[in-house]
Amino acid sequence: MQLLASRFEVYAPDLRGFGKTTPNAPGEVIPTPKVHADDLNSWVQELGLGRIGIVAHDVGAGVAQAYARAYPSMAVGLFFFNCPYPGIAHRWAEPDHLKEIWYQSFHQMDWAAELVGASRTTCRLYLRHFLDHWAARPGLFDDVLESWVDNFMANDNLRGSFAWYRAIDEARRLAMKGLLPKQEAIDLPSRFLWGRHDPLLKVDWTDRLGEYFSNFELEIAEDAGHFVHFECPNLAADRIAAFFGGMPQSVWGGAADQYR
């Protein structure tokens, strides 16, 4: 964001149940991707932003796709880092990949958040596993790990973030069975910068992007794993700026000298 702020108006909204948002009480609305997309649209309207460009990764990429389908006229384009999408299908559950997605099933347990959040030690141990395992270079997050622990130990954020996996579980299982209803391809201009060394969202799984995004470009970040924007910030910022900066100012619907 610091690399982009001189050229774009940049925001990073917290999703419902994450960050500093008000925690959902048990039994409240299930935070599906569509619910998050509606939240995002309400937030955009409240701030009077007009049309927006969306940069998203992993969970946020699921929300961005829901937003593009529900509010296609509100976005000028989508920029994705490693991105779950329906074309992954049954490959989520291939025998050699089950060891990578065990946490998604673990998060279905009512007591999962309580167990992980039993202490800072347990929370740190849990988060460090994913940050080290999914990045191309283990230890990359060591300097900021305590900030991650602070975030997830506060505000009931473990339960709030685990709720994402509970909300998408039915669709996840349908995808694994090959029974997820086919959706129309997203027609918004879409750009993907995908980390080569991600063990969770494999680069080979980009092979069906064309079935779900009718206007896309793909580039492989050769030195990155799952966290492309953190592992290669200069590359990420350069590609984001080129993508959105190359669009005519007229598509934004705002001031001529201000991208959003």
Confidence at residue 260, expressed as pLDDT on a 0 to 100 scale:
45
The yes-or-no answer on residue 142 being catalytic is no
Confidence at residue 259, expressed as pLDDT on a 0 to 100 scale:
45
Q: Are 32 and 62 in contact (CB under 8 A)?
A: no
The one catalytic residue in 36, 57, 226, 229 is: 226
DSSP 3-state assignment of 255?
Answer: coil
Mean pLDDT by 10 residues, the chain (260 residues): 95 94 74 95 95 97 98 97 97 96 97 98 98 97 97 95 95 94 95 98 98 98 98 98 92 56
Quote the tokens at residue 242.
């080129």
Q: Are 197 and 136 in contact (CB under 8 A)?
A: yes
Which domains does the chain carry?
Answer: 33-252 (3.40.50.1820)
Confidence at residue 25, expressed as pLDDT on a 0 to 100 scale:
64
The yes-or-no answer on residue 259 being catalytic is no
Cβ neighbours for 225, distance < 8 A, ≥ 6 positions apart: 134, 135, 136, 137, 195, 196, 197, 198, 199, 231
The yes-or-no answer on residue 226 being catalytic is yes
The one catalytic residue in 36, 57, 58, 212 is: 58
Residue 25: CA count within 13 A, CB half-sphere: 1
